[in-house]
Structure 1
């Protein structure tokens, strides 16, 4: 199986060769037409096989490739099989309307500067390694599905046993993940489940007939004089079995369809119960999805009742002497980081409430906190513009960045912090209207992002580590998108009438959500800032009167979780533009 398929124009072969060489230097397998097509092979068929066997479809964007008929055919085949698209911009295109919309909707990785090839290639590898196991499962299932379809849906090629169970679970977690599941893949899994269920019914029926036959033979052995009567009993029993079989045949189709829906629902409910302790927000979402079928199984309804409608307060963490201005959760959801107006920074173990770390060395109010994606570093930003970074292995300080007294860094309080996905840099936003990118090994300032006319109140880094999104205060209100590699603004837009308070990006990088002092919540496309859902300031019959101070997407990007200043937590359905449930902290 090939890891990556590269689509390119022959006029850009030199760059394609350089890209292939870089992949090979990193022990990555690539499919490209000058290496992988035998001389006697059907050319287009081999191209299609290469696309189907690859985890990713890399498209090199140039004026030549977007006008190439071959590249267009390759892209169409990749889209038909829901391959994950990874567009690389190598040469600028004069008319961007000529670029296929499937490529325009993705974040491009810039390769248009030759002297920055290594940095761009590093970003490419990071993007390709995102959700790698899910993507490989998609590729493996696609190949089995296409083989099943090619061989006229031969039942011997259907999934069974542990394979079937694992792919059903994979399907249950696939909502809104990229690459998307194809209709044929879903049909293949459901056909496999129907066959497995039918086999179980046949097995049970066979055992039943065997039991009856054994019982009749015993009767004959005990009293041979009743042989004639036994024969009549046997005939009646067989007739009853035939009647039952006929009835089963009449309803088997409906049962199979209902069974497929039930399996999907029960898998989601099971996942919800497994996530209930460590990730209750995700558990709520999974339980709701499990109950979206026409007739939810009793177990799914029970899971929803236990998780969504009786959440309760699981644990109270005491000891804060001021407002908690920042909270972050570790990647494994095992512990939480809190920063307080009393100057304290603390870490709490979520399962039993044990305090793992506490410090108040600076005695300055903490305004923002962050945890690195690998969980090995934490950071706190203070009112004087300083930032402290600790390593979580022993909670020792590894960097102290900036501060008014050092005449370096920010000259205002820290309002927002975020680590980059590669764990190499820290981004800070401040009331001095600036954003700074810090290199964490030496503590150097990599660059400053100047463009806001008021406080920088919130920020987020794209999952592929190429773009930075920053939000402004009341006198600005803009969301500015920056190229992290150059520090130049890419685009900007205004979606709120008051100061932004919080912003988050979906895991696939395609959607953003932001909130403001108005109490509103808006979901927008990262590609151009266009509005997907203005979720507004109402939640069913409930009027949201307090500003929403924190927002985040669930891992599947289907729901948004928000927290308002009055202590209420809301779960929003992005697709339905509606509230799902509301939890009250009682404060």
Structure 2
């Protein structure tokens, strides 16, 4: 319904004229023509009429100002934040409700031109009509939810919820604002949906909703108009920072960067409020929040542009090779909308080609970049120049899934839905078919690709095989090999630039790497390959980068992944709920384009964001990771999970060295100093000792349950002597370890257990100087123990009190000089303590701390220097993030350097490599990740917010200028 008209019945004649004019203009209105209220049922109808209308027209006359019914109606409209349109029919003396007085009136007095006023009314009704309709629609749903005692079955889901969230985010900028009921309705809908989705996203979005709500409360319920506006602006900025965090958590990188830039722009506009004592602290806190969010979104955003002109799924995308004369980084895409679009590097469409009569499944560009070919469901391959001019049409008998142009540009191979591999040869300006329909698979051919030397080409098929073909002469093909091993359709193939390896992508979720110089090429079958367990759903495409040291894959799982040549996972680009169909590198390999089922092409800067390597292999979540140099001077990483194994990895190659089958899962691992041994604390409360480089399939020594006498949650070795410690429920047992040769061990208890904690001990750590032992407990305390003069461990200090933790202490770490102790807690904080004095020094800042339990903390081995006068440490949390901190002893300040995101599960363990170049993390997402720490330290130096804002706008430039889906207010954000 377009509008509800509220009026005094005395002015019925004018309202009839107005309603009749609106009806003739095809505008549906709700008008009550009765003179006397009819009781509760009548008023219920009035309420519904107001709620169902997009706008509330209030006819201002002296009689309506004194009408009890009009007052009821107006208050109900205000309660539901309906769009108010005041119509002045007769002049009024005296006070007018402020909600009406503050809005521009439309003058319908007898002395005014009715037609002119009516045109103004229609234009007003049409302004922001869609936004108003959404407000009405969500209000209707929210009232229905409320009337059914907030039954969960009435909540928003899927696209309805997404649209409502988008509307709510815009409501801080434009009316009509949401009501409290609408806000609660959307919040509860988001929470219900998030139970099966990303917890962190839910928390961030909830924070955003709260900030919006605070802004609206300040706007409408503040003491004074100016104060209300200031509070509303502050809340809007907070809302934008929360929205940025929510978008980043949901992998919407450009959206996150845009929201953080908007927040920074608004903060700069209102930063003068810092001079007002009323707002000083709030504005400075807000500055830190805006700065942190902007810095994080810049550092984490690898996405640089989105090309969104296709009207259906984008099936293929390819970069044109850069040439001396041609434009650089030109992109060609094809989609299920039958279109081919040529784009420049800034994301601006150069040419749209609409001559195919079926989906465009594949595109191949000649190595010289002078022409390209498109494969289509209309049973043709078409050849084009880059002006979009058709050069040739190659007809076939069935849909064509793939196409490839030979390196010399003289041949075109096709993949046919009717099992055939087709080949055309260029004779002068004509293309002649030479395959004679003789060469085929047992099922549909999905892709073809020429090798870079042009000697062979590969075809991938739904028959689960890859075939290698040689062009014997200009008129014949020879089958050289059939590659077997995939368990489902093979969708794509790609040759490495040196022609040594062929990669294939399959619906069995894997990528296989085939060493071409190992294949006999005698026409027979070949099954030896390296298997990469790449994705959790079909892999549609795989492509090598130009120098051959990386390859990218696109999957129906909504991910694009970047791999090293040997199959080590390097980066993951997440696009939830989007089937990713294709990938392509530009000529220098610094940019990656991806195509998806959401009709979008995304462009990524591969040099941006977090630089890391990912190793996978565990079958369940990880609990711990430890790093050590063995006696053989080879640095190894030990990781343990709940899959009953400990895995040892080479820190240089990231390859698996061996798997220790511990029978039951391990809780904790720690290398034995000055040996080739690893100590493993297990869930059956035993301690096992394994040789690192010996191939033994059993531990060489085990401390039994009868000896440990309690829950062994942690194990720690003293680097200065033969001591080690284990937890024994709420006690700590000290041991001496005697090692004779490589396999003879003996562990002996040293004295009675240390008794000081009231609840279970969760973590143990010896200080680097060997003088102290620290323990952290579920009783919220940490205890520092030391050797007294009688060579007995005694309590040195209990770390608790007002500055202590409010929940379990999960782990702890000494600084490299043994001066400080860091404790990680379930209260979301990390605290630093002076070891010698046993006193609290600092706590991680509340605005920057983790949003869930902190599982682990670890100091870097580097000591402060005159140039870098601080200690660095890293933490891992149940909020799936890693945070890099520095502690400056002068002033006792803990400062956040970076928040590292990428894990899809709790980060249970963190540490530094002994060389100090990498942060290592182990997560419940079954991965161990290596993060280049120096990269983060350099980025941490850029702290100027103006420079950050300039950089954010620079990164957004092409997106803001060329994306056709953005609203104009967003497009102008960096020009203000």
Q: More helix per residue: 1 or 2? A: 1
TM-based fold match above 0.5? no
TM category, shorter: 0.3 to 0.5
TM-score by length of structure 1 reads 0.39
Q: More strand per residue: 1 or 2? A: 2
Larger gyration radius, structure 1 or structure 2? 2
TM-score by length of structure 2 reads 0.25
